[in-house]
Amino acid sequence: MQENEDGQLEQEEGREGQQEALTRVTGMYKDWFLDYASYVILERAVPAIEDGFKPVQRRIMHSLKELDDGRYNKVANVVGHTMQYHPHGDASIGDAMVQIGQKDLLIDTQGNWGNILTGDGAAASRYIEARLSKFALDVVFSPKITEWQLSYDGRKKEPVHLPVKFPLLLAQGAEGIAVGLSTKILPHNFNELIDASIKHLKGQKFKLFPDFPTAGIIDVTNYNDGMRGGRIRIRARISQLDKNTLMISEIPFGTNTSSLIDSILKANDKGKIKIKKIEDNTAADVEILIHLPGGISPDKTIDALYAFTACESSISPLGCIIEDNKPLFIGVEEMLKRSTDHTVELLKEELEIQLGELEDQWHYASLERIFIENRIYRDIEEEETWEGVIAAIDKGLKPHVGHLKREVTEEDIVRLTEIRIKRISKFDIEKAQQLIESLEEMIAQTKKYLANLVDFAIDYFKELKKKYGQGRERKSEIRIFDEIEATKVVIRNTKLYVNREEGFVGTSLKRDEYVTDCSDIDDIIIFTKSGHMMVTKVDAKTFVEKNIIHVAVFKKKDKRTIYNMIYKDGRGGASYVKRFNVTGVTRDKIYDLTNGKAQSDVLYFTANPNGEAEVVTVNLRQSGSIKKLKWDLDFADVLIKGRNSKGNIVTKYPVKRIELKEKGLSTLKPRKIWFDETIQRLNVDGRGELLGEFTSEDRLLIISQKGVIRTAIPDIIMRFDDDMIVLEKWKPEKPLSAIYWEGEKELFYVKRFLVENPDKEEVIITDHPKSYLEKIFTDYRPVAEVVFAKKRGQERKENMVVNLDEFIAVKGITAMGNQLTKEKVLEINALEPLPYEEPKKNKAEDIEVIDEEDVKPDKKSAAPKTEEKEQEDGENGQTKLF
């Protein structure tokens, strides 16, 4: 044993062979694993920024170029040819080639190459064919500026990188998993990439967002420039064909119709949604029909499809590329900048090579002209040696080469000796001069391009867009998504029961009292006779507390459900009345709604979904000298406070019973509803345009561009069509005015009408296929301006202003209306409506929901005297779930 420098004892190795073996294993781990990791990163999984290709893709493109003769090649032949360069099996090459072909950019395909919409695979490689697309031939290849290297076996040369003059990586996207890192670059729109490249070259800012071949609707709010930590949400495009049928016409990227339908069927089996049947009619375009049972809301089902199926998915991008043989994490904007700058460099190299070639052509054309025009070829007739021939030509040229741009070399003289006699005899000086002048023009033009390289690159990108951009418009619609609460859209797939006396609630108590339908992800709220409250998850059987008096499905943040309660404060204590709502609680925690004394008892309790306030009769027991044993209590006189408030005293004497005397009306203010145009949804949070204040009886008026009119009770889960042109609070007594084109008569008609059947959807224009709605007015006294078309040889007729209120009386909604004019109309404009004063209505006094800390005792209040004291909610440190 010997002591090392750290003071620790270290045992000497007994045998030298063991030390060598140990070193060898360590070396294997260090070197071989790192070599393998580097190989996977650089040679298999991650694309290079220079051309946007992984090695296998680059070798496929190189092989296609070598085989290219304008005709289609069997994919099996291409795969076999690629194996000269790629040290892996044919399966990986074939799969990679199919993926390139399905992106419809670089490869012109023939045969069954699979379907990205349905998930069907391609036919065997011996049955399908391919050739390079015109775009690939224009953009990907340029042998003169390509850097070459030996293939893996040293027999062939392959490109280090292909000189791609386009941000191909961002157009196609890329995905790969390496050792210790991965990449996921999403595809972007062809034309938008070109526009962004042009903006970058002009020094302008730009933004890039993904665009998927499967289309769909995308929310790019958290895209984060395609870097780590970003997230993009994708939804299928779902539309309502009729009240019992939904249609999916676009699907999220990364799914196909088979996987999408499977996810819908699974959600149906689990009871999350309820559907009748699914039809898959997908061919060239996606068409999945979802048939709903009667009584199921289409709007709610659409939300449920997004919440519980693959109709909505999210993708987390991760921008990782290879640059200078090193992995680099960058955003898509930086990728585009680097790719665009690289394209400029490639264009510069091509122009420089082109300039050199043109100057060489000019030099040789000038030499040839001097050689023939000055008959220098005669000077070599008497020369007997090759050296003498070269010297004679060189001597003959010297007096005439002063204007050349470089010295005459021996190689130039050798080329002159190779000119045939036939060419010399037919030499045309004028044509030779024209050739030299055209070369001079081309040289000047190329120098101009080099001097203005950025402008040349901009023109290059514009030409690419003009040549190949048609038909490559954006497919994925960018939109901000609304948040869907699963508990609000899930189908009530089970039933809730209660055993009030024993204190059990659950879905398995089928012999006990039925409460309501619910879902397995709902929370339920329970109140007991002792004044306790608890919120818990739906389960098969849960014990809460004996003597349950109320059970219901709990709605988070519900301020409109008001609980009315009278309780006795402990044994022999006074009775109190309180009104409260329950918005935020900790799940499975028991809350005491009384003052906390033992033997407290709830004497009266109701749950009111719209804040109703009933009138009850309080009956006292005969005790001592009490004169008044019975009186009425109106809950409308009690302020709505928090659940912890003690409440107002009702009586200090024993209560015999409390009876309901009169059902009450809502004491809450009408609910304000807004419409958020960005997500096309209603809300009560103040986002978007205020539609008005709504009671439980008020409705929305909805009119579409197709002339379809309907009214509906506002619901937060409602969805609206893209062609909706009117959304406002419906006033039944206010007439609507419409100007429409009658297809059969080929004239404009005017009609005024009331909505007589609020529950019925009606069309307000005629059913002729050429009929269309021109203008719709929801004002009491609308005014329209008619602009007439100018007749040939005549002055334009003066515009006609029409007071629609006087033009036509209010008729039925199905009436055709009156003809507006026989003249040819250029356009119809809406003018400011005429003033109208609506009749005033007497409003009932409203009681507003207020927080308990804002309440101050009101000495003049008609309510019973307040004897309340605030109580703290539970122990410190409780975690809020809602």
The pair of three-digit structure tokens given for residue 829, joined into one six-digit string: 């404009």
User: Which residues have C-beta within 8 Å of that of residue 452, sequence separation ≥ 6?
Assistant: none
CA-nearest of 437, 449, 447, 427 to 361 is 437
**Which of 29, 36, 72, 127 is the catalytic position?**
127
CA distance 479 to 237: 12
173 CB-side CA count, 13 A: 22
Instruction: Find the DSSP H helices in 289-428.
Output: 298-308, 332-373, 386-397, 410-417, 421-425
Q: Are strands 640-641 and 575-580 parallel, antiparallel or unpaired?
A: parallel
CA-nearest of 604, 460, 475 to 142 is 460
Q: For residue 161, which phi and psi values (nearest 5 degrees)?
A: -140, 145
CA distances from 727 to 18, 628, 677, 703, 720 (A): 85, 55, 11, 7, 9
723 CB-side CA count, 13 A: 10
Beta carbons within 10 angstroms of residue 558's beta carbon: 13
Q: What share of the chain is helix, strand, coil (3-state, %, to 5)?
A: 30, 25, 45
CA distances from 157 to 65, 92, 136 (A): 13, 21, 20
CA distances from 554 to 507, 521, 738 (A): 15, 11, 45
User: Which residues have C-beta within 8 Å of that of residue 182, sequence separation ≥ 6?
Assistant: 45, 176, 318, 320
Active site residue 591: no
User: Which residues have C-beta within 8 Å of that of residue 867, sequence separation ≥ 6?
Assistant: 574, 576, 646, 648, 649
Q: Are 94 and 83 in contact (CB under 8 A)?
A: no
Angle among Cα 528, 531, 533 to the nearest 5 degrees reads 65
CA distance 487 to 484: 9
**3 state SS of 617:** strand
CA distance 553 to 866: 32
DSSP state of 156: S
- The residue to which tokens 């078309």 are assigned: 789
**3 state SS of 399:** helix
User: Which residues have C-beta within 8 Å of that of residue 403, sequence separation ≥ 6?
Assistant: 366
- The residue to which tokens 């002792």 are assigned: 530
**3 state SS of 397:** helix
Instruction: Find the DSSP H helices in 407-557.
Output: 410-417, 421-425, 429-451, 453-468, 486-489
User: Which residues have C-beta within 8 Å of that of residue 30, sequence separation ≥ 6?
Assistant: none
- The residue to which tokens 């003018």 are assigned: 831
- Tally helices (H) and strands (E) across the chain: 18, 50
Q: Are 194 and 203 in contact (CB under 8 A)?
A: no
Residues known to be catalytic: 127
